[in-house]
Amino acid sequence: MFVGTIVLSGLNAYWVQTMLIKKSEDYAALLVENLNHQIFLQFVVPVAMKYGKIQLRNKEQFKWMDKVVKSTLHGFKVEHVNIYDRQNTISYSFDSKQIGKKNIGGTGYQHAVDGESSSTLVQRGNFLEVLIGFPEESRLITFAPLHAEQPLSAIEGPVLGVVEIIQDLTDDHKKIFRLQVRILQTCFVVMVFLFLILRFVVKRGEGIIQRRSIERIRLQEELDRAKHLSSLGEMTAGISHEIRNPLGIIRSSAELLSKKMKQTDPDNSVPDIIIEESSRLDDIISDFLNFARPKTPNFRSCRVEKIIEKNLTFLAMHIKENGYHIDKHYSDDLPEIKADSDMLYQAFLNILINSIQAMPKGGRLSIKAFVDEQSIVLKFEDEGKTITQDELEKIWDPFFTTKEKGTGLGLGIVKNIIEAHNGSISLDNRSSRGVCVTIKLPVI
């Protein structure tokens, strides 16, 4: 676009120069016509009547001619004038040194003798100056015939001589060049501005395309993950159902066996071990089923701070015995929300248990609840060990756990519950030590 603008600017400069030359030629033609009329009426006729013939070598006649020419051209942009006779000799000139020189008119003189006017543009300067239209000097040389005027002449319009008018166009060409420079500067500024806008638009477009590509890849990964989890959930639900029935029979049988063994062999603890492991296995199956078949929330008005207090009441004995300190910070403007209080109770309980288990030797657990725009924000902060970046990337994956005993489904169940309430959950390391779990629940 900028190159095209430069070419267009050059063409405009060429057209302006052409118009300038044409205007100067017309200007010269008008001057010659006026000069021809004044010379014939004010010089040729009076001199011929007074002296009988015209001889510019005569000082009085030369002064007469000089007065007529200069008074006629006074105020006009003419740098130099030469008048030739029929023998191609300069009879009159602004420069006295030129008078008397012969055969220097060239083709312009010959055309004028034949009755035709012609103009030639002469430029002086180096090649680059002439090429870009900014020559050091620029002059338009015009040759035109001097005619006898009717009805004073018996012969119809004979050519009495040739007049050469030189116009200095240097200043006009400089003005055109400065105009051209201003046009190029303006175009350059406009092009730079447009380039910056286009660059901004392209970069913004590239960013949008990149974000959409990343989002598309992320959505595809989530879709594949959802399909995988759906298949895994269906399989888990089926297997869990098939395991739970015989497991119940095993546990019932172990309880009967335990009662009989207390009568015959009270020290035998095998039945109790079977009962304990059966219960633990039943809890694992319950986690599988809760993850594979999440419940649909039964939305009712509730208050999150009351649900948390209920969790803390349930864990009160464990908290007291193991030396945990609970810091609670509830905002006074917490509103009611529409939620399933039982499901939120289960989610908060899992988070609290994880926080407590992360501090086996006791510690401080901070619980904060406040309003942020149209959401209630809950933060659970513990003083346990931090989680590595690799673990953070896998923390929401099913069956991933950092505990020796665990199914890796606890946080997955919590995430399902929060998302079922149109909320969000995130887990990050604290700046000092420990982990912060942040939950956002919409205020409906």
247: in domain: no
Q: How confident is the model at residue 129 (pLDDT cuts 50, 70, 90)?
A: low
How do residues 10-28 score in pLDDT, each as one tens digit? 677 778 778 878 888 888 8
Q: Using DSSP bridges, classify how beta strands 337-339 and 300-302 pair: parallel, antiparallel or unpaired.
A: antiparallel
Q: Using DSSP bridges, classify how beta strands 375-381 and 435-442 pair: parallel, antiparallel or unpaired.
A: antiparallel
Q: How confident is the model at residue 202 (pLDDT cuts 50, 70, 90)?
A: very high
- Helix 304-314 / helix 341-357 crossing angle, nearest 10 deg: 50
248: in domain: no
How do residues 345-376 score in pLDDT, each as one tens digit? 988 998 998 888 888 888 889 999 999 888 99
Of 64-73, 138-147, 214-223, 238-247, give the lowest mean pLDDT range.
238-247
Which residue do the tokens 């109790």 mark? Answer: 272
Residue 47 has a pLDDT of 83
370: in domain: yes
Of 84-88, 190-194, 278-282, 380-384, give the lowest mean pLDDT range.
278-282
209: in domain: no
337: in domain: yes
Output the six-digit token pair for 143.
């040759």
Q: Are 147 and 159 in contact (CB under 8 A)?
A: yes
Residue 155 has a pLDDT of 41
Of 261-265, 340-344, 400-404, give the lowest mean pLDDT range.
400-404
Q: Which of 168, 184, 217 represents a domain boundary (last residue)?
A: 168
How do residues 290-325 score in pLDDT, each as one tens digit? 666 667 888 899 999 999 999 999 999 988 888 899
Among residues of the chain, what percentage have pLDDT more than 70? 85
Quote the CA–CA distance of 351 and 377 in Å, as a whole number.
15
Output the six-digit token pair for 245.
């029935």
- Number of domains present in the structure of the chain: 2
Residue 18 has a pLDDT of 81
Cα distances from 187 to residues 14, 176, 179, in angstroms, run 17, 16, 12
Q: Print the domain residue range for 31.
A: 2-168
Q: Are 107 and 13 in contact (CB under 8 A)?
A: no
216: in domain: no
Residue 291 has a pLDDT of 62
pLDDT: which is higher, 71 or 279? 71
Cα distances from 247 to residues 244, 282, 287, 299, in angstroms, run 5, 8, 15, 34
Over residues 389-396, the mean pLDDT reads 74
Residue 240: pLDDT above 70? no
Q: How confident is the model at residue 153 (pLDDT cuts 50, 70, 90)?
A: very low
- Report DSSP state, residue 52: S
Q: Are 255 and 271 in contact (CB under 8 A)?
A: yes
Q: Which of 124, 153, 168 represents a domain boundary (last residue)?
A: 168
284: in domain: no
311: in domain: yes
Residue 133 has a pLDDT of 61
- CATH number, domain of 125, equals 3.30.450.20
Q: How confident is the model at residue 234 (pLDDT cuts 50, 70, 90)?
A: low
Q: Which of 168, 193, 217 represents a domain boundary (last residue)?
A: 168
- Phi, psi at 323, each rounded to 5°: 75, 35
- CATH number, domain of 386, equals 3.30.565.10
